[in-house]
Structure 1
Amino acid sequence: MFGLRHPIALAPMGGSAGGALAAAVSRGGGLGLLGAGGGAREWLDRELRLVEGAWGVGFLTWAIEPGAVERALEHDPRAVMLSFGDPGPYAEIVHSSGAALILQVTDLEEARRAVDLGADVIVAQGTEAGGHGARRGRSTLPFVPAVVDLAGPIPVLAAGGIADGRGLAAALALGAAGALIGTRFQATAEALVDPAVARAIVAGRTEDTERSRVLDIARGSAWPARYTARTLGHPYLDRWRGREAELEGDAGVREQYRADVERGAIPTLPIWAGEAVDLITDLPLAADLVERLAAQAETALTNAVRRA
């Protein structure tokens, strides 16, 4: 569909998957997806100038600014990916442009909606994923084949808990056409993250991650309640875990959160990280990482055949 050398796509992580990272993944033989978030004009205009090769752009469906999708389509992306929310209002806009419509889903109801809307590719995201995802969903291993069976001829990408070639090989064995990978690409030279964030991901462990609404509430984020966020540990998680209802009613906490950010007591943003974070041990160039993941996957599949 996209003329790729490797069945690997960059998760369009809002803010951190900029034009340089998307371009590097494309140079490596994968599909680079720019993480446009809601489509802030200044950010989008700046980063779109950096993309090249087989690239696309991803939006947070619930947060899309008026005209943002149309503005991105003026740059002729190969694909537009929509995640978290009803993609219905944008499906025809994308289809009529000639770009492929990629829809990320977190449960089977969303998967059926994606099929009905004529998705060209469906991303099945399991709960192991870093950043936002289903509050009550399935893990990647049982979710991906269920979506593959439902989607029929529509290619499915597996997402969530994939950080090396073994995970890619597993996705292919489950019937997926490839993998959409996020946290692993945050720890690369081209990612738009603070160096301290990249170092925290490299040092992170699976047991350090937690899925919660606490940090969205504390920072006054408008994320829909049905989507929680998996992050590394955070002082506010320790302080408010299990007390979300109380937190929502305390406006003073949001003021304190902002004050803590300003004085450097806590990171500017939560550190989004998936359960495969402890498989991440270095900060490579993204193009080299794509090649490495593909080679690891080939080795894993070859070894699996030999053992069969």
Structure 2
Amino acid sequence: MTVMALSTAFTELSGVQHPIALAPMGGSAGGALAAAVSNGGGLGLLGAGSGDRDWLARELPIVAEGTGKPWGVGFQTWAIDVGAVERALEYDPRAVMLSFGDPSPFTERIRAAGALLIIQVTDLEEARQAVDLGADVIVAQGTEGGGHGARRGRSTLPFVPVVVDLAAPVPVLAAGGIADGRGVAAALALGAAGALLGTRFQATAEALVDPSIAKAIIEGRGEDTERNRVLDIARSSRWPSKYTARTLGHPYLDRWRGREAELAADPQAKQAYQDDVARGDLLPLPVWAGEAVDLITDLPSAADLVSALAAQAEDALSRAGRH
């Protein structure tokens, strides 16, 4: 089905068919997933994370060769250097997205390459900075989202329209707790030019996740998700403390909730975590999952999912208009 009704400032700017983007989830949004989302008419964003050289060398050619449609790359800004961005730009992505940290050291290089500059923001100070830096697209991330976000962030529903007003005329994508076409429609109703989805795309045929993770997402419930730092500390992750991560329940979360400082100072506990993973007693990674995880019940191809989301969104907007 061709969904012409959902043309927005974002689709026109990026050259995609549907106002839907793949969250560049570090490591799990690989080349195959990004290409599939782009082939489905959305904007596939490769999850380049901290810019690991070997990972980029493997995944960048997969997306570049896997689609003739616009695609992009996303980085965790606190964890990268200019070299990582330059390696990605060699493949001529349509867009580069920067999240979590000061984007200013990288913006001129991205713009000089002719790529769209997408900046994700978690509060109004970051939103103002993104506007000042000349972001082409701003992603307003609410706290319902899976994975990492601001410890003191705001919910998607009230946050997005405030950013839309502040950033106008720059197009804004809504992110956080969106997992079906109704959520995409809600984002458009809030004044956003589209939606960025993460957890929903982790449960697709092309996602670079262990099958146990996809299974956990399909079986997961939103009420079981929780924002925490415990699992970053247990994994000896370098994520800055201002960012927590929403995950499904986890034995170490139950064991160490409220005792983060104690865990950070206990090398034996962190070694025990690694040992438990190695033995298979724990999943290989925490299950990053947003509050809308209940809506995820299948494992489709990402290209088919984009089309289905767009059709659902159009239907939801049509029904809302009849009320």
TM-score category by the smaller chain?
A: over 0.9
Q: Which residue of 1 aligns with 2:208?
A: 192
Is residue 2 from structure 1 mapped to residue 14 from structure 2 by the alignment? yes
1:47 aligned onto 2:59: yes
Residue 117 of structure 2 aligns with which residue?
A: 101
Normalised to the residue count of structure 2, the TM-score between the two structures is 0.94
Map of 2:129 onto structure 1: 113
Equivalent residue of 2:62, what SS?
coil
- Give the Cα–Cα distance (whole angstroms) in 2 for the partners of residues 198 and 258 of structure 1: 21
- Partners in 2 of 1:10 and 1:195 — Cα distance? 20
Q: Which residue of 2 aligns with 1:243?
A: 259
What's 2:299 paired with?
A: 283
Preserved CA contact (<8 Å) 1:21 1:190: yes
Question: How big is the alpha-carbon RMSD for the aligned residues of Structure 1 and Structure 2?
Answer: 0.7
SS at match of 2:45: strand
CA offset digits 1:88-131 (Å, max 9, x no partner): 10011101111010000000011011011110000000000000
Cα separation, 2, equivalents of 1:56 and 1:155: 17
Contact conserved, 2:212 with 2:283, CA < 8 A, in 1? no
AA paired with 2:276? D
* Equivalent residue, structure 2, for 1:169: 185
Counterparts of residues 48-197 of structure 1 (less than 5 Å) = 48-51=60-63, 52=67, 53-197=69-213
Q: Which residue pairs with 1:226 in the alignment?
A: 242
Unaligned ranges ≥5, structure 2: 1-12
Q: Check the 8 A contact 1:40/1:65 in 2, yes or no.
A: no
| Percent of residue pairs identical | 77
State which drifts further: 263-272 or 160-169. Answer: 263-272
Task: Give the number of aligned pairs.
Answer: 307
Distance 1:138 1:2 in 2: 27
Choose the corresponding residue for 2:47, options 13, 21, 35.
35
Give the match's secondary structure for 2:14: coil
The 2-side partners of 1:229 and 1:65 are apart by: 23
Q: 2:219 aligns with which of 197, 203, 207?
A: 203
Counterpart AA for 1:50:
I
Question: 1:230 is paired with a residue of what secondary structure?
Answer: strand
Deviations 1:254-280 (A, max 9, x none): 111111111111112111000000000
Q: Distance in 2 between matches of 1:196 and 1:221?
A: 21
Deviation (angstroms), 1:41: 1.1
* Residue of 10, 13, 29 corresponding to 1:17: 29
Tell me by how many angstroms 1:65 deviates: 4.1
Q: CA deviation at 1:66?
A: 5.0
Superposition misfits of 4+ residues, deviation over 3 angstroms:
none
TM-superposed CA distance for 1:42, in Å, is 1.1
Kept in 1, the 8 Å contact 2:82–2:106? The answer is no
Paired residue type of 1:244: E
Q: CA deviation at 1:152?
A: 1.2
8 Å CA contact 2:39, 2:303 repeated in 1: yes
- Unaligned runs of 5+ residues in structure 1 are none
Counterpart residue identity of residue 77, structure 1: P
TM-score normalised over the length of structure 1: 0.98
